[in-house]
Structure 1
């Protein structure tokens, strides 16, 4: 697999791992991590995070300051992927984390006791169907019979299903090529696939470094949110702690919305991506932290139902079971 010099293989593979969505079966947490569940005594908030706004919050140190008067100690563990983070929650190794739409659905289907505690606003501009600059495809209807690459079981698979439906196509009208982001990019560059359904920052990287053309993004099709989660037990017993975390995250969000250039500089270093790529992604991101509502859980329920219909889930799940 060949990757361009301006997007290092290590960086792409790290991002691919962070975005991969799989079932939780077969995933395991190192023994040292699995044994970090707190004993009785002072309260602890164990945060799992990927390279995102939680990482920015960690760098600020403000959460520790807010929680100190409550007698709460904060620990941080960085994870390469949402599913691994949720497995850590399932075995009692973390109490809080951040994740996209798909991993918590698979986690709940696998029996993880997760609770959705906050969400971002919709971010439909952060996922899209990409085409090579020279493609003769001009509309979604033109995808009929074409090879479309995407990460199986991810949020973009749901987006693709809804996009095809909205444009009068059946799900089976396209050839589905299941590839993780790094491999999908390589296939896209080689011309082995006709289209690639992907999310930021891979999306922005392909636009900036490959001159890829957006056929359609998710606006008007799906919402594409990001979520913060805890365990049902921790959230029920530590509502005051969860409230402080969400409040501090919202402050970071408000700062990000007002200081996009500074945020892009910080994320460029965090992600190891060119500044032009990060600028493009940050510019179209909607920042904010919102409470979980029944309407938001219904959005997740629609994704879960679609995944079950596509035979990606072993059973139907009820998203209300993940409500605090």
Structure 2
């Protein structure tokens, strides 16, 4: 059993908008943890990656695209766990106003797309343009945080918004928008549990135990969708229907750091290199650590 006598045994976890902490608390996975746990809340992927790289936190969640964007800058972060989602038509999507004349990805040429730089939304917009025979330079990107992007689309300052759940569920339920391009076939559904080198070196037992807790927590959430969604809604302030919609379809589950994940990282990096978002040098296999895949739980 892990001891708790030294402060450096504390596992510091980044939880975007408290989402990971809420999940673990709801599933009972914060009970009887054999080491100190601390959570830090961040509003988006970029500050999460910065905190991980700076050593302010040990482990946190990032999407594939923000992870590639961050690690291409040489942060040394590695994927130690994977949560894989079912990719639904609105898990990641480009949404447009209901009355928009746009009909497909090709019609985004010459238009203004708002998204967050380096995000999965940014990746989707680039992938959709390339799949239609174009590239990112054929549209104008306006990089903002999700709340600002949402406002920009609503007031006519952008023609499309490339975003992800829960924002896609929110706008679908609110009405007035429609999905122009779905992430189906363009997004692999991987959410990454990312650690920095110091945590991997100094806290492997804590990381191992924590990853098992995350896996069990998602199993619980998938078996208790209504209960979990109600807990999320109380925490987020969003309508219950937003979380119900997202949880019912996405069915997140922890999987091994596998070859499919490495291919996803390589594909994402290739697109970002081709579009000039990152420079050369990203090697997908070097950005993962598979030692936690089958490790035993802490007793």
Q: Deviations over 1:139-176 (max 9, x none)?
A: 33333333322222211121122222223334333333
In the alignment, is the contact (CA less than 8 A) between 1:308 and 1:316 conserved in 2? no
- RMSD of aligned residue pairs (Cα, Å): 2.5
TM-score using structure 2 length:
0.84
Match of 1:96 in 2: 59
- Mapped to 2, the partners of 1:215 and 1:151 lie a distance apart of 18
Match of 1:304 in 2: 269
- Mapped to 1, the partners of 2:282 and 2:5 lie a distance apart of 32
Match of 2:22 in 1: 55
- Mapped to 2, the partners of 1:106 and 1:167 lie a distance apart of 23
Which among 200, 205, 217 is matched to residue 165 of structure 2? 200
Which among 18, 27, 37 is matched to residue 74 of structure 1? 37
- Mapped to 1, the partners of 2:82 and 2:187 lie a distance apart of 15
- Mapped to 2, the partners of 1:107 and 1:142 lie a distance apart of 30
Match of 1:119 in 2: 82
Where structure 1 has 5 or more consecutive residues not aligned to the other structure, the ranges are 1-37
SS where residue 62 of structure 1 aligns?
A: coil
TM-score using structure 1 length:
0.78
1:316 counterpart = 2:281:
yes
Task: Please list, as runs of the form range in 1=range in 2, the aligned pairs for 1:243-262 lying within 5 A after superposition.
Answer: 243-262=208-227
Match of 2:176 in 1: 211
Segments of 4+ moved more than 4 angstroms: 38-42
Where structure 2 has 5 or more consecutive residues not aligned to the other structure, the ranges are 290-299
Q: Deviations over 1:199-252 (max 9, x none)?
A: 111111111124311122111122142111112342244433322212111111
Match of 1:109 in 2: 72
SS where residue 78 of structure 1 aligns?
A: strand
Match of 1:87 in 2: 50
Count, aligned residues: 283
Highest RCO, 1 vs 2 (Cα 8 Å, sep ≥ 6): 2
Match of 1:27 in 2: none
